[in-house]
Amino acid sequence: MERLDSLPPESRGESSAGSSSTLEDPRPWIPSCHQWPEPLRWIDRPPQKLWICGNKPVGPPIIAIVGSRKASVAGLRWAFQIAAELSRSGFRIVSGLALGIDAAALEGAVLGCEEFKRSATPTVTKSLAAPFEAVPFAPPIALLGNGLPMIYPAKNRPLARRIVQCGGALISEYPPGTAPRPHHFPHRNRLISGCSVAVVVVEATLRSGSMGTARHALDQGCEVCAVPGPVESASHQGCHLLIRDGAHLVTCARDIIEACAGLGVAGCRAGIEGTARKGLSADQRRLERERKRHGDDLCRLHEVTGWSPIRLLRAWSGGSFDRSETGSRSDQGQMSVAHSRRSGVGSSAQIG
């Protein structure tokens, strides 16, 4: 994710270095529009207006891939390949258009869309094909921290054009011509997580914009995934902290899809729309499904979810269950979970 400590004048939009005469003029997009992203209505500080170049992103569920600007070759390759595979599988990729992981993920998503359009049948790998009945076209989204049609950083102008040309979108909360400022990017990150069903963090330091995006995701009830790396690498410390605190450890596209509750494209879309309508978090949504399968015994739910007692009780207390049905079993289950916590089962520092 982009983090600006200081910007030279030309990068702050004070010259034409970051402008792009090939992009269309941005169009306003307001919440009263029927195509407005429903999840953005429910986040903290919801946007009052967005500006967009390209097509409005409606339909497929969105997965955010974010990470370091100074990523390793392995991290760039991973982000590119996974984004391409998720895109071919019908998931829309969103990121911030920064150098490094953001750009690699968007490049991969563009490639996935280009391959999709060249093929009459989507090239989904056999291992991922099973959950999907119909794979929609899902071009990527780039969310910017400055006003369109200027592109920051200017090095990513060709990528921005390709995103629009393949049917994707460039979106900003800032009016046209607004220069990039350091505080724009962390403020923008809540939108990246807010429109997503999952946020995947690749190579993040402890103090980085990607960690801020992960924190927004937790507050918004979004699944958080992190890619592990060498334990001595400072650029992976943020990911390791997220995993330690309960984020999904992911190493491939299937891991990410399973983190989204194992739903296919239609299921993910229905799930996120249902969450927006009911005001449920991702954990509450999953707990409802597990309750239907396993009943109201919190010890059993603790086992099948793999969550810490705190995370489980947080989802339970905020869910929409009929407590009259659970009765004393609920109380007994809560005491059992509390006992398991005292015995050292789970992590008291669980996120989400």
Shared domain for 260 and 144, answered yes or no, is: yes
Specify the pTM: 0.70
Query: In tens digits, what is the pLDDT along the chain, a chain of 352 residues?
Result: 544 444 443 344 333 345 555 788 999 999 998 789 888 988 889 999 999 999 999 878 899 999 999 999 999 999 999 999 999 888 999 999 999 999 999 999 999 988 877 774 544 444 343 343 345 678 999 999 999 999 999 999 999 999 999 999 999 999 999 999 999 999 999 999 999 999 999 999 999 999 999 999 988 888 999 999 999 999 999 999 999 998 999 999 989 988 886 444 444 444 444 444 445 566 777 788 788 788 888 788 878 887 777 677 777 765 433 333 333 333 334 434 334 433 343 333 333 3
pLDDT of residue 54: 96
In a domain, 297, yes or no: yes
* Per-residue pLDDT at 315: 76
Does residue 328 belong to any structural domain of this protein? yes
Q: Give yes or no: residues 188 and 335 share one domain.
A: no
* Total structural domains within the chain: 2
Of 266, 290, 312, which residue constitutes the final position of a domain? 266
Helix axis angle for 309-318 and 282-294, nearest 10°, is 90
- Residue 40's alpha-carbon distances to 44, 47, 63, 121, in angstroms, are 9, 7, 14, 32
Full residue range of the structural domain in which residue 249 is found: 9-266
Q: Which residues contact 183 (CB under 8 A, 6 or more apart)?
A: none
DSSP 3-state of 62: strand
For residues 159 and 301, membership in a common domain is answered with no
CA distance to 30, 41, 320, per residue, from 38 (Å): 12, 6, 20
